[in-house]
Structure 1
Amino acid sequence: MKKIILRIFMLIIVLLAVIQINIITAPRKQTPKQSDAIIVLGCSLWGDQPSPLLVYRLERALDLYRQGYGSKIIVSGSQGPDEWVTEAFAMKKYLVENGVPAEIVLKEENSFSTYENLLFSKEIMDQEGLESAVVVTNNFHLHRSLMIADRLNITISGGAAKNYPNLALNIKYHLREVVAYIKDFIFSY
């Protein structure tokens, strides 16, 4: 009985390690492709201002937009309990203040998860006749985002933004992402 338990434990460790390796390597394997849109996934706000992780996402989206990777930008995220506005509102404001024409930034303000970010962004893409997108999120979040987008039949590539330069936080985000990946792998349909 102990050998069976040990084997199951080792199998779980190997599975978790494989997932973590994929999370770490996904941003290196992904390059953005010319698309109709850029989808920026929401992240927490500090009041009505983008948090540092969200600023990294927005700066990456600005860079991709300026390089012509998409003619529309979809910003996706609702309002959390400690946020003064929706994430999408704050993201659009940031992009417009940095030179993006307001009419090309489309807001998706109803999502509370990565799955909903992509599901509701796909609805906007369908309404606007947009067929492909570059998803922008932080490095640790890209692998799961691409998996969900693939399940939603979105023609997508990845545009990874950098992570916050704090080792302890990065370890926390990567460990949390393994659990979130498993949850979304099982329950995202």
Structure 2
Amino acid sequence: MQKYFLGKCVIGIMAIAIGIVVITAVIETVLIVKASAKKPQENATLIVLGCKVYGEHASRSLRERLDAALIYLEENPNSQCIVSGGMGEGEKISEAECMYRYLTKKGINSSRIIKEDKSTSTRENLRFSKKIMEEKGLGNNIAIATSEYHQYRASQIAKSLGFSVGAVSGHTAWWLFPTFYMRELYGILYQAL
């Protein structure tokens, strides 16, 4: 009888733990979807968050962010753009330089693009970009160009820095999405704690 009771307790605890994980994932997913769908204001300052660069070439994820940024910049000709990202391991140029080259090659006037090439995290991307915006008198209205799964966490950091935020979301390839999505769920939880 005691073994039976212990078994039920273990199963009950496991069921509660699984339930908590599922509920947390659902809540975070709703937050991610809402954040990635938030339309930016017209002619907001666009901050493109960096991502992996292979040598001098943008990774697929970075190209997806840049293609979304390109559409926004074409539709909002008075927007300034800050490309934000330092140089990581295996990168021959900074993420900012890579993004600058990509956007100018696609026809965006170089005078609209400001490089922030010191940051190594999302928080630094936004903090260092804020300093640039303050120096140039660009206000606090921004659009963040990043992957859709990353919009919620990035927008929460931006809001904590005093920004008014909209989303310009790059669409992640379906075969890469599950890995990045799961990692982001842990990132959101870590940031919340």
Moved more, 10-19 or 175-184: 10-19
Change in CA separation of 1:58 and 1:32 when aligned onto 2, cut-off 3 Å: same
Counterpart for residue 70 of structure 2: 62
CA distance, structure 1, for counterparts of residue 106 and residue 136 of structure 2 = 24
Structure 2 residues not aligned, in runs of 5+:
1-8
Counterpart for residue 133 of structure 2: 125
With normalisation by structure 2, the TM-score equals: 0.86
- Checking the alignment, whether the CA contact within 8 Å between 1:37 and 1:69 is kept in structure 2 is no
Is residue 135 of structure 2 the alignment partner of residue 115 of structure 1? no
2:26 is matched by which residue type in structure 1? A
Give the number of equivalent residue pairs: 183
SS in 1 for 2:83: strand
Change in CA separation of 1:91 and 1:175 when aligned onto 2, cut-off 3 Å: same
- How far did residue 8 of structure 1 move? 4.8
With normalisation by structure 1, the TM-score equals: 0.88
- How far did residue 158 of structure 1 move? 0.7
- Checking the alignment, whether the CA contact within 8 Å between 2:84 and 2:129 is kept in structure 1 is yes
Counterpart for residue 172 of structure 1: 179
**1:74 counterpart (82, 102, 109):** 82
Counterpart for residue 24 of structure 2: 15
- Checking the alignment, whether the CA contact within 8 Å between 1:38 and 1:73 is kept in structure 2 is yes
Identity fraction in percent: 29
- Checking the alignment, whether the CA contact within 8 Å between 1:41 and 1:135 is kept in structure 2 is yes
Aligned pairs for 1:38-49 within 5 A:
38-49=46-57
Is residue 96 of structure 2 the alignment partner of residue 88 of structure 1? yes
Counterpart for residue 161 of structure 1: 170
CA distance, structure 1, for counterparts of residue 97 and residue 75 of structure 2 = 24
2:188 is matched by which residue type in structure 1? Y
Is residue 107 of structure 2 the alignment partner of residue 99 of structure 1? yes
Q: Cα RMSD between the aligned structures?
A: 1.8
Counterpart for residue 161 of structure 2: 152
Moved more, 68-77 or 42-51: 68-77
